[in-house]
């Protein structure tokens, strides 16, 4: 298996020890849209040991413009995003334990869904769930990576509990409806989430 990761093991920032650590890590991705699919494919190809992908939605044709793990067959088969992602990613790297969960992440289940994770990655498009991730991150001491992409721009922030500023430190309450840009109002070009999702995975 060393040959599969030989090129990234040569990278001084990873090396053999880093690859071993990556292989023993558990990542949870909340949201499997444009950001989530980029993050998931990057980490599975990099050899993360275990990945849980959580999303409540089914694939639609307008998703195919930017969500790289899905195709038209998935839509015809009426597959949920989490299940389609799991199936595609198992073909990419059979050594990674991949679990797709079709669920709406909320205050009743988030602690259970992220329990034991080494990192949480944000593939979301709403602030409410990000606040939930932030709170469980602080409670369970799990680092998380925020990401957002709209139109032709985006942003990333790594949040390390009790070390860096948290999400609530930056945004103290959920913005009012219509007060912020969304993909539904301002659109999005595929390079924006590709770049942001890649930075989150890195």
| Alpha carbon distance 194, 61 (integer Å) | 18
User: Do 138 and 161 form a contact (C-beta atoms < 8 A)?
Assistant: yes
User: Do 160 and 6 form a contact (C-beta atoms < 8 A)?
Assistant: no
Catalytic status, residue 166: no
Catalytic residue from among 32, 166, 169, 183: 183
- Listed residue (110, 107, 106) closest to 120, CA to CA: 110
- Listed residue (158, 176, 178) closest to 167, CA to CA: 158
**3-class secondary-structure state, position 168:** helix
Just list the catalytic residues: 183
């Amino acid at each position: 298996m060393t040959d599969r990761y030989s090129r990234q093991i040569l990278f001084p920032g990873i090396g053999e020890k880093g690859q071993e650590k990556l292989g023993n890590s558990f990542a949870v991705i909340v949201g499997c849209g444009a950001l989530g699919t980029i993050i998931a494919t990057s980490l599975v190809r990099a050899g993360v040991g275990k990945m849980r992908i959580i999303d409540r939605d089914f694939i639609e044709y307008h998703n195919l413009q930017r969500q790289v793990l899905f195709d038209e067959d998935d839509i015809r088969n009426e597959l949920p995003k989490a299940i389609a992602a799991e199936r595609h990613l198992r073909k990419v790297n059979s050594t990674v334990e991949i679990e797709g969960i079709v669920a709406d992440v909320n205050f009743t289940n988030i602690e259970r869904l992220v329990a034991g994770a080494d990192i949480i990655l944000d593939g979301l498009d709403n602030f409410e769930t990000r606040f939930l991730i932030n709170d469980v991150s602080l409670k369970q001491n799990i680092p998380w990576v925020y990401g957002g992409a709209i139109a032709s721009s985006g942003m990333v922030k790594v949040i390390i509990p009790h070390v860096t500023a948290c999400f609530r430190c930056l945004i103290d309450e959920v913005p009012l409806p219509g007060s912020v840009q969304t993909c539904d109002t301002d659109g999005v070009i595929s390079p924006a989430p590709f770049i942001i999702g890649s930075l989150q995975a890195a």
